Amino acid sequence: MFIIQTYGLAVLFCVITMLCWGSWANTQKMAAGSWRFELFYWDYVLGIVLLALLSALTLGSLGTGGRSFMADVGQASSGNIGLAIWGGVLFNAANILLVAAMAIAGMAVAFPVGIGLALVIGVVVNYFSAPVGNAGLLFGGMGLIVVAILLNAYAYRQTASGTSGTSTKGLLLAIVAGCLMGLFYKYVAQSMFPNFEQPEPGKLSPYTAVVFFAVGILLSNIVFNTLLMFRPFVGTPVSYADYFLGSGRDHLTGILGGMIWCLGMSFSILASDKAGPAISYGLGQGATVVAALWGIYVWREFKNAPTRVLTLLNLMLLCYVVGLGLLITAR
């Protein structure tokens, strides 16, 4: 299987993860005008499963390093398979709740509370599970990225309409989503053998772990998204019949979104071997600011913003770049 050999390449993979995790939501935004998120989400999950299988059957099965995908599945213990699946269940619950929080309270509350909390919890949990990297630099970088996220949220609140009078329900959903989002990566990392070049009996390769992670998302989505369709937090209920009324473009957009997100997840897992789970996860969750950049420069959410807001955005970008540099140098 393909294995990352250097820390520099691991950092590059983490940056690609950040771009993927911060960009997949563009596909949902493109489909939002005519396609409810609950319906989009079925195709999004399908895209995750397809990319996970494609990676495992290609990069995960080629070469002499590690252990090929099919051989790895055959020797995997039920306990480690369960850890990877459980990680997928936690992620899916968090992701659905985060989007529901955005619909109720707005991005200005949901993203900084949910993803900011996920970043803090995820880096702490993953560092103490596998303490790789300089703790001072690691947590200093994490702190600056959190500041960047909060600055972005404040700037958004200065210009976005409909974000005052934040709903308590939306805030609570964001908090729960952040707690779950910060925990899922740990379980996937625990299911794998720590040194990808030295397979351990019963443990999973990174490619196999991502496949079972995707299975966890798929299985849990049958429950979570069905409940959300019939009892949405906002809007009217939708049915399975509505899903089949979608156009080919609607379905392909969702699949593309899932594949983009899963590419980021796969690269993050591969990078964790050389970078360590805490650094790999922390860099990936800088995606919140990547999403902000899409909003600023592509979707033009701040085109009528006053000067003070533009100053906040510049400070946000500075904190992000410096925090990113500290995370990179922490190893």
> Which whole number is the average pLDDT over 143-160?
78
Res. 305 pLDDT band, cuts 50 70 90:
confident
Contact 22, 149 (CB under 8 A): no
* Domain chopping of the chain, boundaries: 7-329
Tell me what percent of the residues of the chain surpass a pLDDT of 90. Answer: 46
Between the alpha carbon of residue 106 and those of residues 91, 114, 136, 220, 234, the distances in Å are: 21, 12, 33, 25, 12
Arithmetic mean of pLDDT, 279-299: 80
The separation between CA 304 and the C-alpha centre of its own chain, rounded to angstroms, equals 30
pLDDT (tens digit per residue) in 54-65: 999 999 998 778
Residue 196: which of 255, 277, 265, 133 has the closest Cα? 277
Q: Is the pLDDT of residue 49 over 80?
A: yes
Which range among 13-17, 21-25, 321-325 has the greatest average pLDDT?
A: 13-17
Residue 118: partners with Cβ closer than 8 Å, 6 or more residues away: 94, 177, 178, 179, 181, 182, 285
